[in-house]
Amino acid sequence: MNISRYQEKLLDKALEAGFIEAEVYYEQKKSFQCMLYKGEIDSYETSEDGGLSLRGLYNGKMGYSYTEKLDDDSISFLINSAKANANILDEDEGIDIFGGSTKYTSYDYYNEELETIGIPEKIELLRSIEQKIRAYDSRIVTLDYCLLQEYTAERSLANSKNLALSHKENGLVLFLSTVVKDGEEMKSGSYLKMTRDFHSLHADDIAKEAAEEALANLGEKSIPGGKYPIVLRSDASASLLSTFMPILSAENAQKDQSLLKGKVGHKVASEAFTLLSTPFHPAALSGASFDGEGVATKEQAIILEGTLQTLLHNRKTAKKDNCETTGHAHKDSYKGALSIAPQNLYISTGEKSLDELIHTVTNGVFITELSGLHSGTNTVSGDFSVAAKGFHIQDGKIASPVKQMTIAGNFFEFLNDIKGASSELYFLPNGYGSSSLLVKELSVTVE
């Protein structure tokens, strides 16, 4: 199947069928994944797949459909479904298909070398990491995940206004979860690493970090519940940020689902807090030079030293608010409708190292992992109460791991309570990043 010919044919047929304008979006992905268990390949997966969506203006409304089967029958399925869906909509979005930005920044999201390194070499690395972790300490019982994942993805957007954009990216992700046991106490610790540079992966360093992450959790103690100053490690902070991202969406603000409505130009966080969005960051794997509508993306400050600079817009919300789109139209894949999401959103770094931040706390808690974020958070009110793993800080030093905890607070208050950001930056594979943060206080409950 020749994709560009299929795209062309679909666009022609859509216009013939009464669409005023139309856009075809195509995505294809190749992936490889391997999981080891005691040196043996436990599971091995490969894939080559993709899909295509049609978005078009019909009777003044934007119809949408997708398929993963690319044959002639699907052309009529796509056109008829998109038409029917346009008819169901109550709202005339007032948005047309985008004609293109004047300039797109080119940036390398693809490293050919990663793809040319053979699968056996990658499995060998994983095997050596597993071996080194198992040998690292007698308290290491097993690894419940020892996983390597690699992908190459391509997407293209073509429309009846002669815009044709394409993007190619690849990456490799390692995920390790180590189970440790001391007497009756059983704990686990997870480790995640992503890169486009295979040669940056060193088995000794990775095994040490992964093993230490789990071993550190042994010897847990209880501390009294109450309000404590908190140091939130960068990875935990990035996952909290990713959960509360919807408050930045102009669409949510317009629908009364964000308390940041009407707050542009106002102070919404402490001066120690700066939030940046950039499609181009060497430490992040995601991003693209165009957004889900084909608008050129750029680096910008969302919150600068505590002041909200802008909400995240696509063309529809920008039109409603009478401003320019910020290039944050987002398509999860060809299956999803157009929504709003950032490209690499991260909490900017500060001057002090993580140790120096911890050093400022006399009696507090250092949080290294949050879980239950999908259920214990309310992005509308900002309230959160989530499970946490971490350590007691005593007199500026990490004392001991704490039994299972919950931390609770309100995200809007949390933003105002940030007293400092560390100098290191960590990105999650989903493009959210953060430095470690020192926070005035949060409620801590200990099991």
Partner 1 sequence: MIKQSIIENVLEAALATGGDFSEIFIEDKYVNEYVLQSGKIEQSIAGRDFGIGIRIFSGLQSIYTYTNDFSEEGLLAAAKRAALAIEGGGSGTIHPLHREIITPIHQILHLPHTVEHARKTAVMRQADSIARNYDSRINQVKVRYLDEQQNVLIANSEGKFVEDTRVYSRLSMQATATEGTEVQTGFYGPGAHAGFEFIEKLDLNHYAGEAARIAVTMLHADECPSGKFPVIIDNEFGGVIFHEACGHGLEATAVAKNNSVFANRIGERVAPEIVTYIDDGTLPNEWGSLNIDDEGEKTRKNVLIENGILKGYLIDKFNARRMDAQPTGSSRRQSYRFNPTSRMTNTYIAPGTSEPADIIASTEYGIYAKYMGGGQVSPSTGDYNFAVMEAYILKDGKIERPVRGATLIGNGAKTLQLVDRVGNNLAHGAGMCGSLSGSLPVNVGQPMIRVSEITVGGTKGE
How far apart are CB 290 and partner 1 at their closest, in Å? 22
**Degrees (nearest 5) of the Cα angle 428, 432, 434?**
90
Q: Which of 7, 21, 23, 50 binds partner 1 (CB under 8 A)?
A: 50
How far apart are CB 37 and partner 1 at their closest, in Å? 7
Cβ closest to partner 1, residue 108 vs residue 144: 144
Residues 317 to 356: which contact partner 1 by CB under 8 A? 335-337
Q: What DSSP character marks residue 289?
A: S
Residues 142 to 171: which contact partner 1 by CB under 8 A? 142, 144
Helix (H), strand (E) at residue 339 = strand 339-340
Residues 84 to 143: which contact partner 1 by CB under 8 A? 84-85, 87-91, 142
Show the binding pattern over residues 392-431: x = contacts partner 1 (CB under 8 A), - = does not: ------------xxxxxxx---------------------
How far apart are CB 408 and partner 1 at their closest, in Å? 4
Q: Which of 109, 67, 58 is nearest to 85 (CA)?
A: 58
Q: Where are the alpha helices (DSSP H) in 360-418?
A: 411-416
Task: Kindly report the number of other CB atoms within 10 A of residue 444's CB atom.
Answer: 24
Residues 361 to 390: which contact partner 1 by CB under 8 A? 371-372, 374-376, 378, 380-381, 383, 385-387
Show the binding pattern over residues 62-81: x = contacts partner 1 (CB under 8 A), - = does not: -xxxxxxxx---x--x---x
Residues 276 to 295: which contact partner 1 by CB under 8 A? none
364 and 228 in contact (C-beta within 8 Å)? yes
Binding status of residue 186 toward partner 1 by CB under 8 A:
yes
Cβ closest to partner 1, residue 66 vs residue 290: 66
Q: Which stretch binds partner 1 (CB under 8 A): 33-41, 98-106, 277-285, 350-358?
A: 33-41
Q: Which of 51, 100, 396, 429 binds partner 1 (CB under 8 A)?
A: 51
Cβ closest to partner 1, residue 63 vs residue 306: 63
User: Each residue of 313-346: b (16+ CB within 10 Å) or e?
Assistant: bbbbbbeeeeeebbbbbbbeebeeebebbbbbbb
Q: Name the token pair of 335.
A: 């299956």
How far apart are CB 199 and partner 1 at their closest, in Å? 24
Rounded distance between C-alpha atoms, residue 320 and residue 367, angstroms: 40
How far apart are CB 210 and partner 1 at their closest, in Å? 15
Helix (H), strand (E) at residue 121 = helix 119-136
Q: Which stretch binds partner 1 (CB under 8 A): 220-228, 265-273, 318-326, 417-425?
A: 220-228
158 and 23 in contact (C-beta within 8 Å)? yes
Q: Which of 337, 333, 405 is nearest to 372 (CA)?
A: 405
Q: Which of 12, 49, 108, 271 binds partner 1 (CB under 8 A)?
A: 49
For 35, counting Cβ atoms within 10 Å of its Cβ (0-12 exposed, 13-18 middle, 19+ buried), the class is middle
Q: Which stretch binds partner 1 (CB under 8 A): 186-194, 242-250, 306-314, 351-359?
A: 186-194
Rounded distance between C-alpha atoms, residue 152 and residue 32, angstroms: 9
Helix (H), strand (E) at residue 272 = none
346 and 299 in contact (C-beta within 8 Å)? no
How far apart are CB 29 and partner 1 at their closest, in Å? 10
Q: Name the token pair of 195.
A: 């890169």
Q: Which of 17, 37, 137, 267 binds partner 1 (CB under 8 A)?
A: 37
How far apart are CB 380 and partner 1 at their closest, in Å? 5
Binding status of residue 189 toward partner 1 by CB under 8 A:
no
